[in-house]
Amino acid sequence: MNKQVGQIFEGALTAQGIKFGIVCARFNDFFVSKLLDGAVDVIVRHGGDAAKISVAYVPGSYEIPFAVKKMLATKKFDAVIALGVVIQGATPHAGYINSEVAKGLAQLGLEFGVPVTYGLITADNLDQAVERSGCKAGNKGGDAALAAIEMVNLTRSIK
Ligand code: RBF
C-alpha cells in the first residue's frame, strides 16, 4: 500500500455497533447452516453482538436478492450478507442461478448505498461445497462477514 498519498480510506475490522442482516437459502441447508455459523462467529469475534444479527431464510439462492432488497428497504441494517450454496448438477441451472444472484446483489448494494456481500459457494460437486463451508478451504460465510465488517467501516470513513 502506498503511504505517500494524502488521504487513505480504510475499513477497520471491528463489528462493534454494526447491525447485520443475513439472507440464507434453505436449499443445501446442510452447508448453508455452516456458512451462517461461520458468519456469526466472525462477527462476534470482531466485537459484534449476535443479538443484533437478523436472519431471513429464502427457499433457494435464486430468491436471495429479493430478500436482500426487502432488508435494505427497511433501512435497519448497516450491511447485508448473502449466503447460499449452488451445486452444479446434470442441468445448467447453476450457471443461471449464479449469474442472476451475483448481478442482483451487486446492483442492490449500489442502489441502496449499503454494503451487500457475497457468501455463496458455487461448487462443481459436493466435495468443493464441503471444502468451502468450514473445512479445508475456509468458510465463505465467515469471509463474507469479514468483507461486510470492512465495508461498513470503510463507508463510515469516507466523508
Ligand atoms: N438453489 C440453491 O440454492 N442451490 C442449488 O444448488 C439449487 N439447485 C437447483 C436446481 C434446479 C434444477 C432448480 C430448478 C432449482 C435449484 N435451486 C437451487 C433452487 C432455486 O434457487 C429456487 O429456489 C427455485 O428454482 C425456486 O425459484
**Atom of ligand 1 minimally distant from the CA of 87:** 6
Q: Which three cell numbers stand for residue 7?
A: 488521504
Confidence of residue 1 (pLDDT cuts 50, 70, 90): low
Encode pLDDT of 111-159 as tens digits. Answer: 999 999 999 999 888 888 888 887 766 899 999 999 999 999 999 999 8
- b/e burial code for range 101-135 (CB count within 10 A of at least 16 → b): beebbeebbeebebbbbbbbbbbeeeebbbebbbe
Please count the other Cβ atoms lying within 10 Å of the Cβ belonging to residue 44: 14
Distance separating alpha carbons of residues 44 and 9, to the nearest angstrom: 24
Report the separation in Å between the CA atom of 47 and the middle of ligand 1, taken as the mean of its atom positions: 35
Q: Any idea what the Cα angle at residue 28 is, between residues 94 and 130, rounded to 5°?
A: 90
- Residues 14-65 have pLDDT tens digits of 999 999 999 999 999 999 999 999 999 999 999 999 999 999 999 999 999 9
Task: Please give all residues whose beta carbon lies within 6 A of any atom in ligand 1, as ranges.
Answer: 25, 27-28, 59-63, 84-87, 91, 93, 97
Task: For residue 108, report the distance from its CA to the centre of ligand 1, in Å.
Answer: 21
Name the residues annotated as catalytic: 93
